[in-house]
Amino acid sequence: MISCREGKAVKNNTLSSAPPLRLGLIGAGRWGRNVIRAAGALDGVRLTRVGSSNPQTAGLVGPGCIVCTDWQDALDPSAIDGVVIATPPALHADMVRTALERDIPVLVEKPLTADWAEAEGIRELAKARQGLVLVDHIHLFSPAFQALAELAQAVGPIRALRGRAGNFGPFREDVSVLWDWGPHDVSMALALLGGRPETVMARRLSRDEKGEVISLGLTFAGGVEAEFTLGNILPAKARMFAAHTDRLVLVYDDLAADKLTVHPPTAGFADPTGPGEPIAISPEPPLTIALTTFAEAIRSNERATESLDLGVDVVAVLSACEKALGESLSL
């Protein structure tokens, strides 16, 4: 039996002349609520189904949007043209597979899954069904990162990547620091360098009863090394990603007023100091770009596999890092 409630909010989109694209959403937690807000501000897109067991969700969506307590009821091909999955990673594989089996395009929050075999299975099913799966590695949709990638291609080659990301919290029970923060840096590294690393290293730098700080080391073809520090017990929030070339260093700092800056080269690929030269970028939010990209792919009946292939590669790399962490000395 379908158990659904209609939304009570009065806000609606200003729709384009074309029929609105009907989106579904599964999961109305922190990220799902961001999706609700971002979709509500897009022309030509209308949220029509939300799968959520939270009774407060009906008050977050517009009129005509049906909230279903069973996520499978939200995957109705007659009511949606595509679905955004914003649930914990352990639920992704079952939900993505169900959507593909119902011929519904998918935008799934990172990581694609936390299991390499599941990720490969999703790719095989998408190929067999000629389905569309995009993975929302959100920083890949950031105008600052996209500008970094374009500049790096112009002034490269990239010699090294360095990053630091995390905060004090969140302390999640469903995923580790590796699977919570790692998909961001790994996806950016793979996108820039065009493939999986040849070797991986992972070790714990510190750990207490609340969380941990870990270090990842990835070595790519040509000896390019990417080193990332990730943690949920850092003294302050960090989101810095640097691409080092012979001519300059490009720094993407998602927490800074100037999100992309250019610096002189540093010895030993050390983090640059000083404010750097800011690069003007679009202020458009990455989630808006991700949803727009998804909507355009649905409208054009696109079946490109780059996003899904990258999502599978990220899971493969993180799985190798997880194995390395398990074999390292516990602190």
Give the span between the Cα atoms of 118 and 108, in whole angstroms. 14
Beta-carbon contacts of residue 93 (< 8 Å; ≥ 6 apart):
113, 115, 118, 119, 121, 122
Mean pLDDT of all residues belonging to the chain: 93
CATH architecture type of domain 4-137: 3-Layer(aba) Sandwich (3.40)
Say if residue 2's pLDDT is above 70.
no
> Which region among 119-133, 142-156, 316-330 has the lowest average model confidence (pLDDT)?
316-330
pLDDT of residue 186 exceeding 90, the answer is yes
Is pLDDT at 16 greater than 50 in this prediction? Answer: no
Contacts of 94 (CB under 8 A, 6+ apart): none
The model's pTM: 0.92
pLDDT at residue 254, as a whole number: 97
Q: Using one digit for the tens of pLDDT, what is the confidence trace for 143-175?
A: 999 999 999 999 989 999 999 999 999 999 999
Residue 307 pLDDT class (50, 70, 90 cuts): very high
What is the model's pLDDT at position 271? Answer: 94
What does the pLDDT read at residue 17?
A: 59
Averaged pLDDT for residues 231-253: 97
Give the pLDDT band of residue 18 (cuts 50, 70, 90). Answer: confident
| 8 A C-beta contact, residue 89 and residue 116 | no
- Counting DSSP H helices and E strands in the chain, the numbers are 8, 15
What are the start-end ranges of the H helices in the chain?
A: 30-40, 71-74, 92-101, 116-129, 143-155, 177-193, 286-299, 306-327
Specify the CATH class of 139-285+318-327 in words.
alpha beta
> For the chain, which residues make up each domain, given as ranges?
4-137, 139-285+318-327
